[in-house]
Amino acid sequence: MENKKFDSIPKEKFTLVHHGERISDKKFDDKPIGYFKDALIRFKKNKASVLAFWIILGILAFSILAPVLITNHDSKFMCNMYAKKPARIASMLNVKIFDGGMDTKSNETGFIKLVGIGMAAADGDGQGVTVSEGLASEYSPMIEIGEAYEQEISKTRSTTYYPFRVDAYLREGFVYRSVEQSEYARIKAWEEETGLQVLYPVIDNNEWTIDPEDANYWYKTNSKGQPVKVNAAGDATVITYSENMVLEDNYKRDAEGNVMYYTYAGGGNADTAQYRVRLLYYNYYQYLYGSTPDYVMGTDSQGYDLALRIAGGIKLSMTIAISVSIINFIIGAMWGAVAGYYGGTVDILMERITDILAGVPFIVVATLFQIHLAAKVGPIVCLLFAYILTGWIGTSSRVRTQFYRFKNQEYVMAARTLGAKDKRIIWKHIFPNTLGTIITSVALVIPSTILSESNLSFLGIIKLGTADYSSLGNLLAEANGIWTNYPHLMIYPALFISLLMITFNLFGNGLRDAFNPSLRGTED
Amino acid sequence: MKMAKYVMKRLVLMLFVLFVITTVCFMLVRILPRPLPDYKNLRDIILARWEALGYNEPLLVQYGIYLKNIFTSWDFGTSWYIEVNEPAWNLLTDRLLPTVLVNLYSLILSIPIGIGLGVYAAINKNKWQDSFISTAVMIFISVPAYVYAFLVQYFLYFKFNLLPLQVLSLADAGGSWFTWKMFKSMIAPVLALSFGQIAGLCRFTRAELTETLTSDYMLLARTKGLTRAQATSRHALKNAMVPILPMIISTFIGVLAGSFVIEQIFSIPGVGQLYMMSIRLFDYDVFMMDMIFYTFISLLAGIVVDISYGFIDPRIRMGE
């Protein structure tokens, strides 16, 4: 810097800083930051919590939007033929998680039966069909066939096993149904219109039929269900599987040798006469419900769409959890405020009551409510009662502690000196100080409620599952025991519950840190 | 002296709370209709027994009899369906051992791992090891226990077939709870229980230790020449243990109560399963017994934790 001489500045160069103007405080350029705004700013810095918040919103959006986006059936739609099926979307069959496939293996008899479904579907008029035609059919349940291998059953015997991936929907194959003649005509008309074949040749009931109720044994079988070739003398030889295996069909034929598509099963006039028909269920489903069976997450153990059941379960769990936390917030705040503000005998009495309530294990409360009241008010209300009976204690003790901290501070005394009533001091002067801690506990009540609800459902103490709704825990309880064969029944609900728990805990922790002024400035 | 007075006060209060809860539960349970077996001879026997035991008296008289039986002959009623004519107390004590074993094994597994990980995370605070452990802990603490049970069953039984699917019955395992076969079948539930416990312990340890690591006496310890490892193990860890130990003690008592869900999934014949069975079969005397047991355990855990603070940390004086 240049060296200047300051002692010889001429007088006229000086001016007064404030000359002729009024001095007043400058207005703040920014808006003042209050407690909540400060908390919000600090919450936003916590990346994990913000992410969790968005995931929660995403899950909620899923639960609300799923019924809107899945248009081909609603949440009450149930098809028990297609129960416990994995996810399948007809337009995305080349994506493995949406192909409705299950990896399994079978012995030769079972394997031929499944291959046979495709062959029968490819041969709608009984003209004869080869294995490759059958496997190429779009109704063939076989997705992938692995190498056959020998496995020892005992020391002397071994069996050939065929590993394969099978479409769980198409493997249902054919079914028998009795329809009225008018219905039969409608199916016929629908077939004409869409070009999809629903009605398939009926099977003769003779000595080569192992099970007259099973519409998938369309070929001649022996008493073990193995396909057989019958010669003119009536002797049967067992057919083994090979690429060019030929199955002998066992269709019922009329005098001219044409296959028949129905048998008369009784009934009166042209309209009410009952026809027994053999239907390809996959196409029959389309005839009945107007769309292919598309299930984004498969179907649950009863045949409801699992995605819609989960969406409904999230909504139910969230509704229960949020109402519980709001009610507990109100009761806990009032109880804690009164106990903390008045103190003394009132406090001791109230503390004894909370001691007793807090001593009862929650599972006991839930059970007793369920046994006594479930029949009268329904399981959901019962569960709410159980949560509310003991749930507010945590909030109330937090509020009480805060009241003890603040009630003797000078500003409260000042308010009292100025004539403020107890009610005003409690709600206007002290209570806002407790809000931060309470909001955190409210946010953390939500995951713990969801968790304990799912535990209680899982144990079967409460049963939150009807045709209209099902809780996530109930879906898991239904999957228990059978999920090893149908993993999707467990994976999806467990995934959503875990995701909800993780995100809500992260969110709650973020809130707790944000509302805790003592942590201010320590994060950076 | 003050300590003894405080303990006495707490114990009396606990008994009072236990009494009130038992009374209310008794009333609520006894007014329930009791189903009878279809088999006529058994039904007549049970009805005659009920008459003799005063189950048809007014409610308050019944409660008087119930209390009298407990105090004079330690008789908490009889099981009518689960094990006909067995005292409810025996049913409970029979099932205590499997529950305690499974939970104890899982504690033995999770305490060293949990505390170890917690200490490691606290020492490496704000490094990648810490954030990795903290993230994992957050996930593991949130995921419900049955999900672990599913995963353990899936991988250890279906995929690799290392362990049995469920805990063996006493007869299958050679008539004792302590055979190798029984232990092996218990590994799966122990693992399923441990994930959550490890995560919980780790989080708690990390939180406590990071707090003590930044305190002033640590600075003093370092200035007087201790190495970081010495200061941490001698001063920080010791002080961090003050809240951790009571937590372990309370978990230890909680072990008795067991975990309902895990017992259900792995069909462990424990107290939780007894509870579920007594609800399903309407065996209300056993239900009552189990309820008293659970209430007692949870009350006891609270007291022991409060008192243990006083023993572990001489700075904390009880009852002042």
pLDDT in tens, A249-278: 888 888 888 888 888 877 777 677 888 889
Quote the domain boundaries for residue B136.
Answer: 96-269
Give A62-100 as a 3 state SS string: HHHHHHHHCCCCCCCCECHHHCCCCCECHHHCCCHHHEC
Question: Is it the case that residue A406 has pLDDT exceeding 70?
Answer: yes
What is the residue whose two structure tokens read 């951790």? B244
Structure tokens of A406? Answer: 């603040």
- B254 within domain boundaries: yes
B300 to chain A, any CB pair closer than 8 A? The answer is no
Pairwise CB contact (< 8 Å): B295 & A355:
no
CA contacts within 13 A on the Cβ side of A468:
2
CB of B219 within 8 Å of a chain A CB? The answer is no
Q: Which amino acid is at B186?
A: M
Answer whether B12 touches A (CB < 8 Å): no
Task: Please give the pLDDT value at position A378.
Answer: 84
Contact B294 A455 (CB under 8 A): no
Judging contacts by C-beta atoms under 8 Å, the chain A residues touching residue B265 are 480
What per-residue confidence (pLDDT) applies to A3? 61
**Nearest CB partner across the interface for B298, out of A361, A461, A494:** A361
Return the higher-pLDDT residue of A381 and A126: A381
What's residue A4's pLDDT?
Answer: 65
**DSSP SS3 for A179:** strand
Note whether B20 contacts A356, CB cutoff 8 Å.
yes
What is the separation, in whole angstroms, between the first and last Cα of chain B?
11
**B138 near A CB under 8 A:** yes
- Residues of chain A that touch chain B, judged by Cβ-Cβ distance less than 8 Å: 48, 355-356, 359-361, 363-364, 367-368, 371-372, 447, 451, 454-455, 458-461, 476, 480, 483-484, 487, 490, 494, 497-498, 501-502, 504-506, 509
Which of A454, A459, A484 has its CB closest to that of B276?
A459
Q: What is the reported pLDDT for B269?
A: 87
B147 and A494 within 8 Å at the Cβ level: the answer is yes
In a domain, B241, yes or no: yes
CA B208, B210, B214, B219 torsion-angle sign: positive
Mutate to test the interface with A, among B142, B193, B268 (most CBs of A within 10 A): B142
Distance from CA of A86 to the nearest CA of B (A): 18
Q: Locate the chain A residue with the closest alpha carbon to B19.
A: A356
> What is the DSSP secondary structure assignment for residue A430, as one 8-state letter?
I
The SS3 call for residue A104 is strand
Closest CA to A319 of A441, A469, A463: A469
Q: How many residues does chain A have?
A: 524
A522 has a pLDDT exceeding 70:
no
Q: Please judge whether B276 and A460 are an interchain contact, meaning their C-beta atoms are less than 8 angstroms apart.
A: yes
Both tokens of residue A437? 């801690």
Q: Residue A356 pLDDT more than 70?
A: yes
Give Cβ neighbours of residue A379 (< 8 Å, ≥ 6 apart).
Answer: A370, A462, A463, A464
Beta strands in A82-212 (DSSP E): 101-107, 142-145, 149-152, 158-167, 174-180, 199-200
Between chains, do A490 and B150 touch, taking CB under 8 Å as contact?
Answer: yes
Name the more confident of A156 and A450: A450
Q: Report the alpha-carbon distance of residue A207 to residue A224 in Å, rounded.
A: 12
Q: Sort out which chain A residues have CB atoms less than 8 A from B289's CB and list them.
A: none
**What is the CB neighbour count within 10 angstroms for residue A118?**
24
| Separation of alpha carbons B283 and B84, rounded Å | 10
List the beta bridge partners of residue A167.
A101
Distances (CA, A) of B140 to B62, B134, B200: 47, 10, 8
d(CA A126, CA A259): 6
pLDDT of residue A428: 85
Q: From CA A240, how far away is CA A226, in angstroms rounded?
A: 8
The amino acid at A45: K
Q: Say if the Cβ atoms of B139 and A371 lie within 8 Å.
A: no
Beta-sheet pairing, A228-230 with A174-180: unpaired
For residue A480, give the chain B residue with the closest CA. Answer: B265
β A228-230/A236-238 pair status: antiparallel
B166 touches chain A (CB under 8 A): no
Residues listed for chain B: 320
Instruction: State how far the alpha carbon of B83 is from the alpha carbons of A249, A367, A374, B45, B87, in Å.
Output: 58, 22, 28, 15, 9
The SS3 of residue A322 is: helix
- Compute φ and ψ for A274, nearest 5 degrees: -90, 130
**B113 located within any domain:** yes
- Which residues of A fall within a CB distance of 8 Å from B264? 458-459
With beta carbons less than 8 A apart as the criterion, state whether B269 and B228 touch: no
Give A518's pLDDT tier (boundaries 50, 70, 90). low
Please tell me the total count of domains within chain B: 1
B23 touching chain A per CB within 8 A: no
Containing A276, the helix (H) or strand (E) segment is strand A274-280
- Write out residues 78-137 of B within 8 Å (CB-CB) of A: 135
- Cβ-Cβ contacts under 8 Å between A and B: the total is 85
Q: What is the DSSP letter of A441?
A: H
Residue A141 near residue A114, CB atoms below 8 Å: yes
DSSP string, chain B: -HHHHHHHHHHHHHHHHHHHHHHHHHHHHHTSPPP--SSHHHHHHHHHHHHHHTTTS-HHHHHHHHHHHHHHH----EESSSSTTEEHHHHHHHHHHHHHHHHHHHHHHHHHHHHHHHHHHHHTTTSHHHHHHHHHHHHHHHS-HHHHHHHHHIIIIIIS--S-SSPPPTTTTTS-TTSHHHHHHHHHHHHHHHHHHHHHHHHHHHHHHHHHHTSHHHHHHHHTT--HHHHIIIIIHHHHHHHHHHHHHHHHHHHHH--HHHHHHTT--SHHHHHHHHHHTT-HHHHHHHHHHHHHHHHHHHHHHHHHHHHH-TT--TT-
Q: Which residue has the tokens 């209060």?
A: B13
HSE (side-chain half, CA atoms, 13 Å) at A217? 22
Question: Across the interface, do B142 and A502 touch by the CB < 8 Å criterion?
Answer: yes
Residue of chain A nearest B20, judged by CA positions: A356
What's the gap between Cα B27 and its chain centre?
Answer: 26
- Is 60 exceeded by the pLDDT of residue A169? yes
A105: helix, strand or coil: strand
pLDDT over threshold 90, residue A496 = yes
Q: What is the CATH number of the domain that holds B177?
A: 1.10.3720.10
Q: Is B139 on the interface with A (CB under 8 A)?
A: yes
C-alpha pair distances (Å), A490 with each of A58, A472, A483, B148: 21, 10, 6, 12
Q: Would residue B134 count as lying in a domain?
A: yes
Q: Which ipTM was obtained for this model? A: 0.85
Contact B99, B268 (CB under 8 A): yes
* Exposure string over A436-445, b if 16+ CB within 10 A, otherwise e: bbbbbbbbbb
Sign of the Cα torsion A89, A93, A97, A102 reads positive
Interchain CB distance below 8 Å, B260 and A459: yes
Joined together, the tokens standing for residue B215 give 């305190």
Residue carrying the six token digits 């009032």: A334
Q: Is residue B71 part of a domain?
A: no
Chain A residue with Cα closest to B265: A480
Q: How many angstroms from the chain centroid is the CA of residue B200?
A: 15
Task: Measure B252 CA to nearest chain A CA, in Å.
Answer: 17
Task: Calculate how close chain A gets to B208, using CA atoms only, in Å.
Answer: 15
CA–CA distances in Å: residue B94 to residues A75, A363, B150, B283, B298:
46, 22, 27, 16, 20
Q: Between A467 and B270, whose confidence is greater?
A: B270
Asked if residue B316 is part of any domain, the answer here is no
- What does the pLDDT look like over A99-150, one tens digit per residue? 888 888 888 888 888 888 888 888 888 788 888 888 888 888 888 888 888 8
Q: How confident is the model at residue A5 (pLDDT cuts 50, 70, 90)?
A: low
Residue range A339-349, pLDDT digits in tens: 988 888 888 89
Q: pLDDT by residue for chain B (320 residues), tens digit each?
A: 677 888 888 899 899 999 999 999 999 888 888 877 778 888 888 888 888 888 888 888 889 988 998 899 888 888 888 887 788 898 888 888 888 888 889 999 999 999 999 999 998 888 899 889 988 998 898 888 888 888 888 888 877 877 777 777 776 767 777 778 888 888 888 998 899 899 999 999 998 898 888 888 888 988 998 888 888 888 888 888 888 888 888 887 777 776 888 888 888 888 888 888 888 888 888 999 989 998 998 888 888 888 887 777 777 665 54
pLDDT of residue A288: 87
CB-CB under 8 Å, A364 with B142: no
Q: Cβ(A413)–Cβ(A382) under 8 Å? A: no
DSSP-derived secondary structure for A197-239: --EEPPBP-STT-S-TT-TT--B-B-TTS-BEEE-TTS-EEEP
**Per-residue pLDDT at A523:** 47
A471 with A452: CB under 8 angstroms?
A: no
Q: Chain B partners of A458 at a C-beta cutoff of 8 Å?
A: 146, 261, 264
Does residue A524 carry a pLDDT above 50? no
**Measured between CB atoms, does B141 come within 8 Å of chain A?**
yes
**How distant, in Å, are the alpha carbons of A109, B17, B178, B196 from that of A167?**
18, 60, 46, 37
Say if CB A60 and CB A314 are below 8 A apart: yes
